[in-house]
Amino acid sequence: MLDTEFTKAQPEYVTVSLTDYGVIELTGPQTDEFLQGQLSCDMKQLGANHWLFAAHCDNKGKAMSTLFVSRCGDSVLLLSHKDAIAASLAQLQKFGVFSKTDIIDASDKYHLYGVFGTAAPERMAQWCEQPLTTEPQQAVTALEDGVVLTLGVHPDQYLLVTERDSFPTNSEQTLWHALEIERGRPTLLSGTLLEYVPQMLNVQALNGISFTKGCYIGQETIARMKYLGKQKRAMFRLVGQGKSVVAGATVEQQLGENWRRAGTVINAVSRADNQLSMLVVLPNDIEADTKLRVKDDDASLLEIYPLPYKLDES
């Protein structure tokens, strides 16, 4: 099924258990105020029926996680890979003692599933026993025991967060990660935590940064990068031949007869016939026809592919 791009040849129905994802749950009267000072998104824009994308940074503006942020009843859920969840949980609990908010690792409470394909809307509605919310963009459907986040169209894509463990799956997690790479949506893993300012991960292009909401941890660095034009790197999508790689691997570019370090792999999946698909942080002025390869894999050859959104200098 990984012979082609899902955004070009939509599958009928793919369901995966996202056992590598985790959940932070925050509850209490000062939860929104607290998260406003922690996350790059504007919590005032978080309604009951839509989710936000965000980065969570240290005081140097380096991202320890990229997150889906959603309301769930009286709580706010932060959803991401367990590596990033662990890093964010430590900082949130450190600062949360000064706010009226309870912060827990709810990864054992909730089960996360990824669903996409042409039949996904109908089958999700059947399983949830209710129609899915279709508006606004980034819609959230509230369930009795969780939420469904609409993550994209063409193909329709959903993230199911539920206390039930009875959702039927038919595929491996790799397929979900391949679609996320096609969407140009980064997920930080242990090899890439606290290495990049959010703009280097294209978080602003995914509407994950508010430049008007005021102060939050890391905001000074993020604002300086936008307004002083200091951004020198951005995230690109690469596709090509090569052996499987992990987050944190080095990508090289050809300069004359030599190869020099160009950037770092954020996410990668191995497709059929020794094919790779990945998100990589590279110099933001790199030429589209630059020859690229994975370090220590001399037979690899990678090309820059278009992203589904527009990048700018911010």
3-state helix, strand and coil shares in percent for the chain, rounded to the nearest 5 = 20, 35, 45
CB burial class (10 A; 0-12, 13-18, 19+) of residue 142? Answer: middle
Going by pLDDT thresholds of 50, 70 and 90, the confidence category of residue 236 is very high
Q: pLDDT at position 311, please?
A: 85
Q: With 80 as the cut, is the pLDDT of residue 47 above it?
A: yes
- Which amino acid belongs to residue 49? N
| Spans of all domains in the chain | 14-183, 232-308
Which numeric CATH code is attached to 14-183?
3.30.1360.120
What DSSP character marks residue 192?
T
Q: With 50 as the cut, is the pLDDT of residue 314 above it?
A: no
End-to-end CA distance of the chain: 36
Q: With 90 as the cut, is the pLDDT of residue 216 above it?
A: yes
Cα–Cα distance, 14 to 84 (Å, whole number): 25
The kind and range of the H/E element at 239 are strand 233-241
Which numeric CATH code is attached to 232-308?
2.40.30.160
Q: pLDDT at position 123, please?
A: 97
What DSSP character marks residue 203?
G
Cα–Cα distance, 85 to 68 (Å, whole number): 11
pLDDT digits (tens, 9 = 90+) for 239-288: 999 999 999 999 999 998 899 999 999 999 998 778 999 999 999 999 99
Q: pLDDT at position 1, please?
A: 60
Q: pLDDT at position 231, please?
A: 87
Nearest to 147 by CA among 106, 110, 187: 110
Q: How many CA atoms lie within 13 A of 290 on its CB side?
A: 24
pLDDT digits (tens, 9 = 90+) for 100-144: 999 999 999 999 999 999 999 999 999 999 999 988 889 999 999
Nearest to 263 by CA among 242, 220, 229, 232: 232
pTM of the predicted structure, to 2 decimals = 0.96
- What is the number of other CB atoms lying within 10 angstroms of the CB of residue 3? 9
Task: Give the mean model confidence (pLDDT) for residues 69-94.
Answer: 98
Cβ contacts of 8 within 8 Å, gap of 6 or more:
none
